Structure 1
Amino acid sequence: MKVQYINPFLESASTVIQQFCNVSVTQGEVVQRELTFHVDHTWIRIGMTGQFEGDVIFGLHNEVALKIVSAMMGGFPVSEMDEMGKSAISELGNMISGNASTLLYNQGMTIDITPPEIVQNYEMFSSKGSEALSVPLNLSEMGRMEIQVIVAK
């Protein structure tokens, strides 16, 4: 699997999170491994179609997701992931993926993205067991986000 598929998502995630959360973002090592899900995490799935097809999955520990939602809402304290929080965290995934698709387009690759989906029952996720490019992003004191990209074709 080509690293060129994940780099625009990493670049976009760093920019968007720095803007909304006012934290520095550092990238961990890119690894190829089986798609993994962790308990106590919020998962945002965005499908990709076009010159390549697959999914990008953003994983955040629930506490980190709440911190990001709080930052997106101007610092208003958020203690649970209600419908407004789910909408905000979905929009984060949408902004990252939309910017990434523009970066890919500028590299000569055309993709479309699907609306974000909060994946709560990852046991039912259709790409479970697939190979993914996976990278952790360290969000300073907020915690960590994991980005996994699966390219089906």
Structure 2
Amino acid sequence: MKAEYINPFLESARMVIEQMIQIRPSTGQLSVRDIKFADRHVWIQIGITGHMTGDIVFGLSESVALRMISAMMGGYVITEIDELGRSAISELGNMISGNASTMLYNQGVIVDITPPKIMDSHFTSGYGAKRAIAVPLIMDGIGEIEIQVLIA
């Protein structure tokens, strides 16, 4: 995995989160590790096809997801992740991935993305052991969202 492939996702995530939530996230420590889907987390999976194939997985705790959804809803306090909340957090992953695919295109890497899927612990148990490049984005007052990149 080349760094220039993950950088568009990090740059896009920082830009989209700043626009949608009005917080500029900072980048945590990059690591390469086995994917582990923690309970009580929201996992958004977006497939990538084209010059590179694989998945981008955004992981965040339910409490962070609630704070992000609340911020996306103009500060209206959300206490549970309902269908509207799932749609909002899915769209956040979609916007990040769409912008990143445009950045990759501008680098000569042509990719398409699949619609976002919210994965729950039942689905993730069958996902299989894979290694990913993982980078957390830290949002002051909200928490962390982790971007996991699995490119074949």
What TM-score range do you get, normalising by the shorter chain?
Answer: over 0.9
Whether the aligned pair in 2 keeps the contact of 1:3 and 1:133 (CA below 8 Å) is no
Unaligned runs of 5+ in 1: none
For residues 48 and 5 of structure 1, the distance between their equivalents in structure 2, rounded to whole angstroms, comes to 12
Question: What is the aligned-residue identity percentage?
Answer: 53
Provide the residue aligned with 2:90 in structure 1. Answer: 90
Deviation string for 1:69-96 (max 9, x for gaps)? 1111111110000000000000000000
Provide the residue aligned with 2:9 in structure 1. Answer: 9
Structure 1 residue 24: Cα displacement: 2.2
For residues 133 and 5 of structure 1, the distance between their equivalents in structure 2, rounded to whole angstroms, comes to 11
For residues 126 and 89 of structure 2, the distance between their equivalents in structure 1, rounded to whole angstroms, comes to 21
Runs of 4+ in structure 1 deviating by more than 2 angstroms, as ranges, are none
TM-score of the two chains, using structure 1 as the length reference: 0.95
Q: Secondary structure at the match of 2:137?
A: strand
Structure 1 residue 40: Cα displacement: 1.1
For residues 6 and 141 of structure 1, the distance between their equivalents in structure 2, rounded to whole angstroms, comes to 25
For residues 6 and 30 of structure 1, the distance between their equivalents in structure 2, rounded to whole angstroms, comes to 10
2:126 matches 1:124: yes
Whether the aligned pair in 2 keeps the contact of 1:14 and 1:25 (CA below 8 Å) is yes
For residues 99 and 24 of structure 1, the distance between their equivalents in structure 2, rounded to whole angstroms, comes to 17
Aligned ranges for residues 70-89 of structure 1 at < 5 Å?
70-89=70-89
Count of equivalent residues: 150
Quote the RMSD (CA, aligned, Å).
Answer: 0.9
Structure 1 residue 30: Cα displacement: 1.4
Unaligned runs of 5+ in 2: none
Provide the residue aligned with 2:44 in structure 1. Answer: 44
